Chains A and B, each alone.
Chain A
Amino acid sequence: MSAGKEFIKGVYKENPVFRLMLGLCPTLATSSSVNNAVGMGASVIFVLVCSNFIISLINRWVHPKIRIPIFIMIIATFVTIVDLVMAGFFPALHKSLGLFIPLIVVNCIILGRAEAFASKHGSIYSILDGLGMGFGFMLAIVIIATFREILGNGTWLGLSVLGKNYQPALLMILPPGAFLMIGILIGFFNWFEHRRTISRSSQT
């Protein structure tokens, strides 16, 4: 097991959004602008790394029967920390992400990684797994937000991209736009993966 591999798998091979189909709810909801997507991604990275680390440390003393409530308490603590710090230091971001920050608690990527990885591996690998998965999530949500913000608003990170004459496709920043974009991107990654498998098998 190599450290680099644990990190990189979350970014592409086991990308939480495009490959594992985890955490789709916050992806749909907060990918309407790149600014929100980066804020959400950064919050998830922080919570995921911290919870993975703590859970990998305490796991040997936790009886399997009560592991879920303990995991949730730990995750909820870090989410509340993010919520408070954001309200205090980044009020504008806190206002636009609003309801979705507390909902990170039920983001299945975090509990999923705690269950599937952190509770079975050492601290260092758990941190790397958290970082990789977190970056994978952020990358995915930023890609989706890039398409949605440019098409739906003509801007990227608030800067005008397509000029004043562009008539924004409002659909793209509304909820259906998120479904369309995620569907197209998942389709693209599946097609890409499929092509790779075919070319690999034809070589042998």
Chain B
Amino acid sequence: MKDIAQFAATLTLVALITAGSLAWVNKITKPKIVEQQKNELTEALSSVLPDCIDGSIVPVKENDHILYYLGYRDKEQTRLIGYAFLAEGRGYSSTIRTLVGMDTSCTIYAIKILSQQETPGLGSICEEVRSGETKPWWQAQFTGKTAKGIAVDKDKGEIVSITGATITSRAITNSIAESVNRLFEQPGSNDIDK
């Protein structure tokens, strides 16, 4: 009995020390990580809305939660050219977050996968860049397609699935279609051409 109390005490002590030091490291690295994620998002936004100039992509918020982004061609924000939004879908082994940019008639400019942890070599091909190229080849096929009702070839759509990773392909594609539908239900989205 005495042993158990002693073991529990040692384990608690070690757990407290390790948790304490981790809290300290977390405090130091947190602002850096947040900044990195922000940079990544800014970069992703300008890659999915290529015709927008710096500072002309404006988030539309509801209670601090970003619903979607409006993209303008000029700094004065008079000429609306498109929208960007985040689509999230459950893939094979992770939640896949994709940023989508489209023009006012729902034609996709480009998509960019922000995070995924799909099977390396199968689902992860959605982010693969072929040597000599700069952009992931699988994501390139979304450019020019209509976001509304987009679907993979197995669901009689136009998106060619990744070989051996239909679940991943379908998760991304369907999450885009669902997010577009949700976008229409948002207040203030009346100006989107239905």
Contacts and interface: CB of A to CB of B under 8 A. Distances in A.
A80 B18 CA distance: 10
Contacts of B10: 61-63, 66, 70
The main secondary structure of chain A at its interface with chain B is: helix
Contacts of A124: none
Nearest to B115: A95
Given A73-B15, A73-B18, A77-B21, A87 B29 contact: yes
A60 interface: no
A87 B33 contact: yes
A91 B120 contact: no
Contacts, number: 58
B130 to A, nearest CB: 10
Instruction: Tell me which of B6, B15, B40, B131 has the highest count of chain A C-beta atoms within 10 A of its own C-beta.
Output: B131
A81 B25 contact: yes
Could you say which of A62, A65, A88, A174 has the most chain B C-beta atoms within 10 Å of its C-beta?
A88
Interface in B34-57: 36, 40
Q: In the complex, which range does the number of interface residues on chain B fall in?
A: 20 to 34
Interface string A159-191: 000001000100000110000000000000000
Contacts of A66: 7, 10-11
A42 interface: no
B105 interface: no
A40 to B, nearest CB: 14
B134 to A, nearest CB: 13
A164 to B, nearest CB: 7
A154 B22 CA distance: 41
A155 B131 contact: yes
Nearest to A87: B33
Contact of B22 (A81, A98, A164): A81
B11 A69 contact: yes
What does DSSP make chain B's interface, helix, strand, loop or mixed?
helix
Contact of B14 (A70, A164, A174): A70
Contacts of B3: 63, 65
A89 B21 contact: no
A87 B35 CA distance: 11
A85 interface: yes
A153 interface: yes
Given A73-B18, A74-B14, A77-B18, A85 B29 contact: yes
A77 B17 CA distance: 10
Nearest to A100: B120
Contact of B33 (A88, A153, A164): A88
A99 interface: yes
B18 A76 contact: yes
A85 to B, nearest CB: 6
A29 interface: yes
Interface of A: 29, 61-63, 65-66, 69-70, 73-74, 76-77, 80-81, 84-85, 87-89, 91, 98-99, 153-155, 164, 168, 174-175
15 contacts: A29-B120, A63-B6, A63-B10, A65-B7, A70-B11, A73-B18, A74-B18, A77-B18, A80-B25, A81-B22, A85-B25, A87-B33, A88-B33, A154-B131, A164-B132
Given A80-B25, A164-B132, 15 more contacts: A63-B6, A66-B7, A66-B10, A69-B11, A74-B14, A81-B21, A84-B33, A87-B29, A87-B33, A88-B30, A88-B36, A91-B36, A99-B117, A154-B131, A155-B131
